[in-house]
């Protein structure tokens, strides 16, 4: 399997390959090619030696114990540099730019300088501005270059080069076509590789786009959406160093997807990244049951955000007169004063933070009332009420065990500022006052609160009046446990309630700290398969990145979620409004032309108004189909998979079928993934066996699912057409 990507770093099978993949046509050309390979081998050896020396130096630096926080911060930076160099063993150098002025720059995974403090640049980091022409220069726009060279390596050996003259002669519409097509023709391994050596211009434009607001990237199958999204993370962390202090969140559609992309960003040298699904964003909360598409659609609507806000607001205490006991006496805080304190405490704060703010004000208010009453009593004392004075001295006597010198009330009966402050502290620490605040403004739990709301038809009708009686009945009848669509509701409630005691995030790395904290604010969020997000899930995304530095990639035509959105404008309007930028990937690198030709009628039946991406490669293998009866299905599928595995030895084969046939197929297919169309989203194999097309099309949003299923292969597509009934003898 391989994620919905355009490209992969890879090597050709031979060392002599021309721009179009054909063998050299003359002895002179072959000799020139061998000379170029030898030249680049010498440079790779030089760069590798320099990388090794730097890594050894950093290892020595890291062996010393850090003595203070500043030294620990420095060692974290050195550790990042060391890890980046260590991961750059493979594909250290992959490109070269020859300028019209005779300058030569090599491009690679990391930046290296020659020996010496003031050494000249030896290797340009692919993320640096100086490397951008490697991805964007064309014969029409050479950007000061005479030639671009793609260098293919296997381990520490240069195995091939692709030279592109940039002299104004247009020979191809792809950058590094030979290297690109060689990479695409490689066998799939079940893991997504990096693609920094073969990114194309429209991909690079998105990778380096500004990150100041939401960017929504539409891309059909095989256009490299995920490659672009992940390489954009690496670029942003390189270009905006402070972003690493906040970490980047990568949201994927499934754990299988996260496993598939797990090594891409570390291979690019990035560790300040948290990968998750929407279901796993809440620490300690797990999805425990499935739910119907109807309920998923209802609970995914944006109306819940307002409903939950109103629900929590209704739980705030109402202003009233408060009668508090302190030191044996009762003191009254008026309703008007309480109302003013409440308004000041709330001011947009979450429920528990507002309560903490109110409690702090209450401590001051009670102290003021106590002081005022004491002063009133002192005034009465001056008129001769010695008995009142005795009571005041008894109730308000400052800690007589402290051994302090006589001041304030010891002299004239009035409290000093220091004594008043001490009184506030005593009130704040008093357990009786704390119990009163808890009873009047109780601590709430998001899970308990949501459970009460979702099972109470009266509450649902009050706070979500947009729901019909039938929808309210459906929601309130749900069984116990959390479904996927409950997670965004829990997240919204947790945000509205706030932490009772904000935890201090622990961990050496920022990603570890961010992963443990629900309320962590990220520097950037990437959403893959973004067309599947509900409106409430979009709220989850925005909550984690209020700066709106978001990159969302997906294909609206592959949407299979329960929501009814058929355009990006519909999908994001409830949360982002019109404040987002659109971009598009138009070239299909993965799926061969032979397969893409099958997708147009499927797209039309799915209701799409988009144009399929343009396929740039041919596998030379025509899609085939075989009609079988239900009784023949399992055996025929097993035989077909074995044949595909033999033909694509060293690669991968995947099987896609309707949900109702998965169990039957798993019984006979134990060594290949057998998935529904939804589960296969974002994955790819060398060969795909597609079973029961009509059964997939009959599923909810089935034509969208069939579009997904058709476009998972990089080489060969086989189809088993299952008859609806066994033929008569």
Q: Which of 223-232, 484-493, 589-598 has the lowest mean pLDDT?
A: 223-232
The answer to whether 315 and 350 have CB atoms below 8 angstroms apart is no
614 in the same domain as 718? yes
Q: Determine, yes or no, domain membership for 412.
A: no
Q: How many CB atoms lie within 10 A of CB 389?
A: 16
Residue 177 domain-assigned? no
144 annotated among ligand-binding-site residues: no
* 354 has a pLDDT exceeding 90: yes
Number of CB atoms found within 10 A of residue 113's CB: 14
Q: Give the span between the Cα atoms of 469 and 167, in whole angstroms.
A: 70
| Residues 693 and 598 reside in one and the same domain | yes
Same domain for 455 and 307?
yes
Judge whether 384 is annotated as a binding position: no
More confident residue, 659 or 240: 659
604 annotated to bind ligand: no
One-letter-per-residue 3-state SS of 62-76: HHCCCCCHHHHHHHH
Q: What is the pLDDT of residues 325-353, one digit of tens each?
A: 988 889 999 999 999 999 999 998 999 99
CA dist., res. 157 & res. 40, Å (int): 9
458 and 336 within one domain: no
**Residue after which a domain boundary falls, among 131, 162, 193:** 162
Alpha carbons 132 and 308: distance in angstroms, whole number: 47
The Cα-based distances of 580 to 228, 359, 554, 568, 652 in angstroms read 18, 41, 15, 10, 38
Residue 198 located in a structural domain: no
Position 99 in a domain: yes
258 burial level (CB within 10 Å; 0-12, 13-18, 19+): middle
Burial class, 117, CB count within 10 angstroms (exposed 0-12 / middle 13-18 / buried 19+): exposed
Checking if the pLDDT of 624 tops 90, the result is: yes
HSE value, Cβ hemisphere, 13 Å, CA-based, for 30: 7
Report how far Cα 265 is from the mean position of its chain's Cα atoms: 12
Number of helices (H), then strands (E), belonging to the chain: the values are 30, 21
**Residue 221 annotated as binding?**
yes
Residues 491, 540: contact at Cβ < 8 Å?
A: yes
Token digits of residue 667:
């019984």
For 54-94, write each residue's pLDDT tens digit. Answer: 999 888 888 888 778 888 878 877 887 888 888 777 788 98
Looking at residue 68, its pLDDT comes to 81
Q: Are residues 114 and 79 in the same domain?
A: yes
Same-domain pairing of 450 and 578: yes
Q: Taking 70 as the threshold, does the pLDDT of residue 559 lie above it?
A: yes
Give the pLDDT band of residue 299 (cuts 50, 70, 90). very high
- 222 assigned to a ligand binding site: yes
Q: Which helix (H) or strand (E) holds 342?
A: helix 335-346
Buried b (16+ CB within 10 A) or exposed e, 299-323: bbbbbbbebbeebbeeeeeebeebe
pLDDT, one tens digit per residue, over 502-553 is 666 655 578 888 888 999 999 999 999 999 999 999 999 999 999 999 999 9
Percentage above 70 pLDDT, the chain: 83
Q: Is 407 helix (H, G, I), strand (E, B) or coil?
A: coil
Residue 480 reports pLDDT greater than 50 = yes
Per-residue pLDDT at 386: 55
Average pLDDT over the chain, rounded to an integer:
84
- Considering the domain architecture, whether residues 609 and 695 belong to the same structural domain is answered as yes
Structure tokens belonging to residue 262: 């797990």
Q: If you average pLDDT over residues 557-563, what whole number do you get?
A: 86
Buried-exposed string 419-452: b where 16+ CB fall within 10 A, e elsewhere: bbebbbebbbebeebeebbeeebeebebeebbbe
Long-range Cβ contact pairs of 354-358 (< 8 A, separation 24 or more): 354/316, 354/498, 355/437, 355/441, 355/443, 358/437, 358/441
The answer on whether 299 is annotated among ligand-binding residues is no
Distance CA 521, CA 547 (A): 9
Residue 418: pLDDT over 90: no
DSSP string, 211-227: -SS-EEEEE-TTS-HHH
| Burial tier of 179 (Cβ tally within 10 Å: 0-12, 13-18, 19+) | buried
DSSP state of 400: T
pLDDT (tens digit, 9 = 90+) per residue, 19-32?
A: 333 444 467 777 88
- Please report the pLDDT score of residue 505 as a whole number: 60
Q: Around 301, how many Cα atoms within 13 Å sit in the side-chain half-sphere? A: 17
Residue pointed to by tokens 């995920």: 226
- Is residue 220 within 8 A of residue 588, CB to CB? The reply is yes
Report the candidate in 205, 211, 195 with the shortest Cα–Cα distance to residue 267: 195
Of 41-50, 145-154, 463-472, the poorest mean pLDDT is in: 145-154
Mean pLDDT of 218-236: 87
Strand partners for 526: 250, 551
Secondary structure class of 411 (helix, strand, coil)? helix
User: Token match 């220091």: residue?
Assistant: 418
Unique residue bearing structure tokens 């039957």 = 664
**Is residue 212 scored above 80 in pLDDT?**
yes
**Residue 116 domain-assigned (yes or no):** yes
Question: Using CA atoms, how far apart are residues 337 and 341, in angstroms rounded to an integer?
Answer: 6
Q: How confident is the model at residue 115 (pLDDT cuts 50, 70, 90)?
A: confident
Query: Using CA atoms, how far apart are residues 470 and 479, in angstroms rounded to an integer?
Result: 17
**Residue 269 confidence (pLDDT) above 70:** no
Residue 446: name the closest of 384, 507, 496 by CA: 496
Q: Would you state the pLDDT for residue 237?
A: 85
Residue where the block lists tokens 């595909």 = 644
For strands 587-588 and 614-615, give the pairing.
parallel
Q: In this structure, are 307 and 324 located in the same domain?
A: no
When divided into structural domains, the chain yields a total of 4
Q: Is residue 180 part of a domain?
A: no
Rounded to an integer, the average pLDDT of 106-111 is 89
Domain boundary among 540, 555, 588: 588
- Is the pLDDT at 411 greater than 70? The verdict is no
Q: Say whether both 533 and 465 belong to one domain.
A: yes
pLDDT of residue 312: 97
> How far is C-alpha 254 from the chain's CA centre?
12
Task: Give me the mean pLDDT over the 475-489 stretch.
Answer: 94
Are 654 and 683 contacting, i.e. CB atoms less than 8 angstroms apart? yes
Collect all residues with Cβ–Cβ distance below 8 Å to 691 and sequence separation of at least 6. 633, 637, 655, 656, 657, 658, 661, 665, 719, 720, 722
Q: Which of 126-140, 395-409, 586-600, 644-658 has the highest mean pLDDT?
A: 644-658
Other beta carbons less than 10 A from residue 168's beta carbon: 10
Q: Say whether 577 counts as a known binding-site residue.
A: no
Mean pLDDT throughout 392-405? 50
**Which token pair is 603?**
């797209």
User: C-alpha angle with apex 252: 711 to 467, nearest 5 degrees?
Assistant: 100
Check pLDDT > 90 for residue 612.
Answer: no
Least confident range from 5-14, 199-208, 381-390, 716-725: namely 5-14
By DSSP bridging, strand 322-326 and strand 273-276 are unpaired
**Neighbouring C-beta atoms of residue 391, cutoff 10 Å:** 15
Q: What is the DSSP letter of 1?
A: -
Report the interhelical angle of 535-544 vs 303-314 (nearest 10°): 70
Q: Is the pLDDT of residue 399 over 90?
A: no
Q: Averaged over 597-617, what is the pLDDT?
A: 87
pLDDT on residue 21:
39
Q: Do the beta carbons of residue 702 and residue 673 sit within 8 Å?
A: no
Does some domain include residue 299?
yes
Q: Spell out a b/e string for 205-228, using b for 16 or more CB atoms within 10 Å of the CB, else e.
A: bbbbbebeebbbbbbbbbbbbbbb
Report residue 438's pLDDT band, with 50, 70 and 90 as the boundaries.
Answer: very high
Query: If residue 163 lies in a helix (H) or strand (E), which one and from where to where?
Result: strand 157-165
Q: By residue range, what is the domain housing residue 500? A: 225-312+446-588
Please state, in angstroms and rounded to a whole number, the distance separating the CA atoms of residues 490 and 487. 5
Q: Is residue 626 over pLDDT 70?
A: yes
Q: Answer yes or no: are the C-beta atoms of 260 and 223 closer than 8 Å.
A: no
Does one domain contain both 516 and 621? no
Average pLDDT over residues 624-651: 95
* Distance in angstroms between the alpha carbons of the first and the last residue of the chain: 41
DSSP states of 633-646 as a string?
HHHHHHHHHHHHHH
In a domain, 643, yes or no: yes
Supply 657's token pair.
């079928």
Asked whether residue 506 falls in the same domain as residue 598, the answer is no
* 24 token code pair: 């050299």
223 among annotated binding-site residues: yes
Please tell me the distance from the alpha carbon of residue 720 to that of residue 656, in angstroms, as a whole number: 10
At 416, give phi and psi (nearest 5°): -80, 170
Given 143, 162, 181, which residue is the final one in a domain?
162
Domain identity same for 280 and 332:
no
pLDDT at 439: 93
Cα–Cα dist 595/602, whole Å: 12
CATH number, position 703: 3.40.50.300
Residue with the larger pLDDT of the pair 171 and 496: 496
């Amino acid at each position: 399997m391989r994620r919905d990507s355009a490209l992969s770093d890879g090597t050709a099978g031979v060392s002599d390959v021309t721009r179009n993949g054909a063998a050299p046509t003359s002895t002179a050309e072959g000799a020139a090619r061998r000379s170029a390979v030898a030249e680049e081998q010498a440079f790779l050896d030089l760069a590798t030696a320099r990388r090794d020396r730097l890594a050894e130096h950093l290892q020595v630096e890291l062996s010393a114990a850090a003595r203070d926080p500043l030294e620990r911060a420095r060692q974290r930076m050195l550790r990042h540099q060391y890890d980046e160099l260590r991961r750059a063993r493979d594909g250290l150098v992959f490109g070269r730019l020859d300028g019209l002025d005779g300058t030569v720059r090599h491009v690679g995974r990391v930046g290296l300088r020659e020996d010496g403090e003031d050494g000249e640049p030896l290797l340009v980091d692919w993320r640096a501005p100086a490397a951008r022409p490697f991805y964007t220069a064309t014969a029409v726009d050479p950007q000061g270059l005479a030639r671009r060279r793609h260098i293919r390596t296997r381990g520490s050996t240069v195995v091939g080069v692709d030279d592109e003259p940039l002299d104004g002669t247009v020979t191809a519409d792809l950058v590094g076509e030979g290297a690109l097509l060689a990479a695409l023709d490689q066998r799939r391994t079940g893991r997504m590789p990096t693609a920094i050596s073969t990114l194309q211009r429209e991909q690079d434009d998105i990778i380096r786009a500004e990150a100041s607001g939401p960017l929504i990237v539409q891309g059909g199958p095989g256009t490299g959406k995920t490659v672009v999204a992940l390489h954009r993370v690496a670029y942003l962390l390189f270009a905006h160093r402070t972003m690493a202090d906040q970490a980047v969140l990568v949201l994927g559609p499934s754990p299988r997807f996260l496993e598939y992309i797990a090594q891409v960003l570390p291979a690019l040298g990035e560790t300040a990244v948290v990968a998750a699904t929407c279901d796993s964003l809440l620490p300690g909360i797990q999805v425990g049951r499935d739910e119907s598409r109807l309920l998923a659609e209802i609970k995914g609507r944006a109306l819940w955000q307002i409903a939950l806000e109103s629900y929590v607001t209704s739980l705030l205490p109402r202003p009233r007169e408060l009668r508090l006991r302190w030191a044996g006496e009762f003191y009254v805080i008026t309703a008007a004063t309480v109302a003013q304190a409440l308004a000041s405490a709330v001011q947009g704060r979450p429920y528990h933070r507002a309560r903490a703010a109110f409690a702090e004000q209450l401590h001051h208010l009670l102290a003021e009332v106590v002081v005022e009453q004491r002063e009133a009593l002192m005034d009465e004392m001056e008129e001769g009420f010695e008995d009142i004075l005795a009571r005041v001295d008894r109730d308000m006597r400052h800690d007589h065990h402290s051994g302090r010198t006589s001041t304030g009330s010891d002299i004239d009966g009035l409290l000093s500022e220091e004594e008043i402050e001490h009184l506030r502290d005593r009130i704040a620490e008093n357990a009786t006052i704390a119990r009163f605040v808890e009873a009047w403004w109780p601590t709430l739990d998001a899970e308990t609160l949501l459970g009460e709301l979702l099972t109470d038809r009266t509450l649902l009708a009050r706070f979500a009046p947009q729901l019909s009686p039938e929808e309210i009945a459906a929601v309130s009848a749900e069984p116990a446990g959390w479904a996927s669509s409950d997670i965004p509701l829990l997240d919204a409630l947790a945000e509205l309630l706030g932490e009772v005691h904000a935890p201090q995030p622990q961990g050496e790395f920022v990603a570890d700290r961010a992963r443990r904290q629900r309320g962590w604010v990220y520097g950037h969020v990437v959403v893959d398969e973004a067309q599947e997000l509900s409106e409430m899930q979009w709220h989850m995304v925005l909550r984690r990145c209020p700066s709106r530095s978001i990159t969302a990639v997906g294909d609206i035509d592959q949407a299979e979620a329960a929501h009814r959105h058929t355009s990006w404008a519909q999908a994001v309007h409830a949360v982002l409004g019109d404040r987002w930028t659109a971009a598009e990937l138009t070239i299909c690198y993965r799926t061969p032309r032979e397969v893409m030709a099958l997708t147009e009628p499927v797209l039309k039946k799915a209701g799409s108004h988009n144009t399929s991406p343009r396929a740039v490669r041919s596998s030379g293998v025509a899609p085939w189909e075989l009609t079988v009866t239900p009784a023949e299905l399992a055996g025929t599928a097993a035989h077909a998979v074995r044949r595909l595995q033999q033909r694509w030895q060293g690669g991968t084969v995947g099987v896609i079928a309707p949900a109702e046939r998965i169990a039957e197929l798993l019984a006979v297919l134990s060594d290949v993934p057998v998935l529904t169309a939804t589960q296969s989203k974002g994955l790819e194999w060398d060969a795909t066996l597609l079973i029961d097309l009509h059964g997939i099309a009959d599923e909810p949003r089935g034509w969208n699912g069939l579009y997904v299923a058709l476009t998972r292969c990089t080489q060969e597509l086989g189809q088993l057409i299952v008859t609806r009934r066994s033929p008569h003898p």
